[in-house]
Amino acid sequence: MGALETGPIAVDVAARQAKVVGEGPRIAPLPNEGIAPDIWELVNTIRASAGAGPTTDMPEYMRTMLKHQDIFRCQMDLGNVLFNGAIPARERELAILRCGWLCRAPYEWSQHVGIAGRLKIPAEDIERTTQGSSAPGWSEHEAAILRGVEELIGDQALSDETWETLAKTWDEVQLIEFPMMVGQYVATAFVQNSLRTQLDQGSAGLSRR
């Protein structure tokens, strides 16, 4: 059984980003030129789901993942399902932010701080996700969401207490969706950290709020 991180964790941001961003990616991304129109449509569909406009400059992470197109397409399809899923957008982003912080994932964290901002999630709530489920200020339901992320990462299962709290508000579809969503974003953090995905220009990574 792993240790459950229900509160703040110490993160040396500079050291962590030096380790998992480094001086450059381990796998060079494809250039924007030559990417097929259906891929652009897929990417812009998920951007729209995340509240962002279309782009003609595909993010580096996506251009790297395109070197494994089968996984890329599956990831984009699942991302679209989750962004248009049964869990409300605010609750989804609180969970993903806690995933990104516990995985100490600069790229994932920074991207979802941006998404949270577009959803008008207050900066103090974004900061509170770094403090965990034990931080004061959460509703019972939101504390259970953060606790659920912590349990899934630390113990690979939801406790009865957390399940029962979430089930007061969520239906069966949402309860199925939640651990799948957490798994998706933990896996994404693993890939981004391991490939040393570069931060977008001007991004502060784990320091972004």
pLDDT the model gives residue 2: 57
pLDDT, mean of residues 84-112: 97
CATH number of 89-188: 1.20.1290.10
Q: Is 205 left (phi over 0), alpha (psi -120 to 50) or beta?
A: left
**What is the chain's length?**
209
H or E segment and range at residue 161 = helix 160-167
CA pair distance 115, 110, nearest whole angstrom: 9
Mean predicted confidence (pLDDT) in 96-101 = 98
Mean pLDDT, the chain, rounded, equals: 94
Cβ–Cβ < 8 Å for 49, 186: no
Question: What pLDDT does residue 34 have?
Answer: 86
Q: What is the pLDDT of residue 56?
A: 87
Task: Provide the residue ranges of all domains of the chain, joining segments of one domain with +.
Answer: 26-83, 89-188
Number of helices (H) and strands (E), helices first, in the chain?
10, 0
| pLDDT given at position 1 | 46
Q: What pLDDT sits at residue 205?
A: 96
Q: Is the pLDDT of residue 3 over 80?
A: no
pTM above 0.85, yes or no: yes
Whether residue 201 is predicted with pLDDT greater than 90 in this model: the reply is: no
The whole-angstrom separation of Cα 85 and Cα 27 is: 32
Confidence at residue 52, expressed as pLDDT on a 0 to 100 scale: 84
Chain centre distance of CA 56: 23
Given a cut of 50, is residue 99 above it in pLDDT?
Answer: yes
Burial class (CB in 10 A: 0-12, 13-18, 19+), 41: exposed
Helix axes of 106-118 and 89-102: crossing angle, nearest 10 degrees:
160
- Please give the pLDDT value at position 119: 95
